[in-house]
Amino acid sequence: MIEPEAKRAIARVAALEPAIGKLVGPYLRLFANGKRGVQLRRAVALIDELAALVDAGEVCRDERVGVRRPASPTMWATGMEQMIGQPPSGPLKNHHYLRAIVFGLADSADAQAERAREQSARAGRRVSGSETRVADDPVTIALSWTRQQMELGGMTQEEADAYVAKIRGKARNDEGAR
């Protein structure tokens, strides 16, 4: 018999965006302490917190400061993939590290959209609402993230190129599947 907590966890994961739902298991393993996995009750709470973050449609690095950026589910999935690919040295206690990564992605995308608006304004073009929308393309997000990582010294050019190539390949496969 499946416990009510397990049913709740399964239902919550099923309600998430598919790109996020498939990453929940590996992401939750980042919260495990040693060989011992995450307790079911804690896993359900973490999934609920993650779903609330994604559903908000925006991200804030630090609630005390309150600077918010639009964040798509694709950005959250990309942030989770990055954490899984380059896990932190110890177990996670909360979603702060993920929020920081997604904020960086959203901030880069927001800055890119602002530059596009400024270029359009300088060129005398009227800017449509679609041009101001934050980029939701996985390759664009990967490019922003790798640029940020290289600026911070967290990634070499070779690592960045390999990561972007991997994301481009995955995007091509996803396009072919449609």
72 pLDDT above the threshold of 60: yes
Q: Taking residues 16-32, report their average pLDDT.
A: 93
* Count of domains observed in the chain: 1
In the structure, what pLDDT confidence band is assigned to residue 125 with cuts at 50, 70 and 90?
low
Q: Decide if 109 is inside a domain.
A: yes
Kindly tell me if the per-residue pLDDT of 93 is higher than 50.
yes
Residue 149: pLDDT band with limits 50, 70, 90: confident
Largest CA distance in the chain: 65
How does DSSP classify residue 128? P
Residue 144 belongs to some domain of the structure: no
Question: What was the pLDDT predicted at 126?
Answer: 58
Would 11 be classed as within a structural domain? yes
Residue 100 in this model has a pLDDT that exceeds 80: yes
Q: Is residue 174 part of a domain?
A: no
- pLDDT (mean) for 43-63: 89
Asked whether residue 60 is domain-assigned, the answer is yes
Domain of 35 in residue numbering reads as 4-136
Residue 168 has pLDDT above 70, yes or no: yes
**Across 13-17, 105-109, 118-122, 124-128, least confident range:** 124-128
pLDDT value at 114 more than 90:
no
- Does the residue 26 lie in any domain? yes
Question: Which SS3 state, helix, strand or coil, does residue 60 take?
Answer: strand
Q: Torsion-angle region of residue 115: left (phi > 0), alpha (psi -120 to 50) or beta?
A: alpha
* Pair type for strands 58-60 and 68-70: antiparallel
- Does 66 map to a domain? yes
Q: What is the pTM of this model?
A: 0.65
pLDDT at 178: 58
Spatial distance between the Cα atoms of 31 and 91, rounded to a whole number of angstroms: 5
CA–CA separation, 39 and 71 (whole Å):
29
Q: What is the mean pLDDT of the chain?
A: 82
Rounded to whole angstroms, the Cα distance separating 81 from 23 reads 7
Task: Classify residue 154: in a domain, yes or no.
Answer: no
pLDDT at 138 over 50: yes
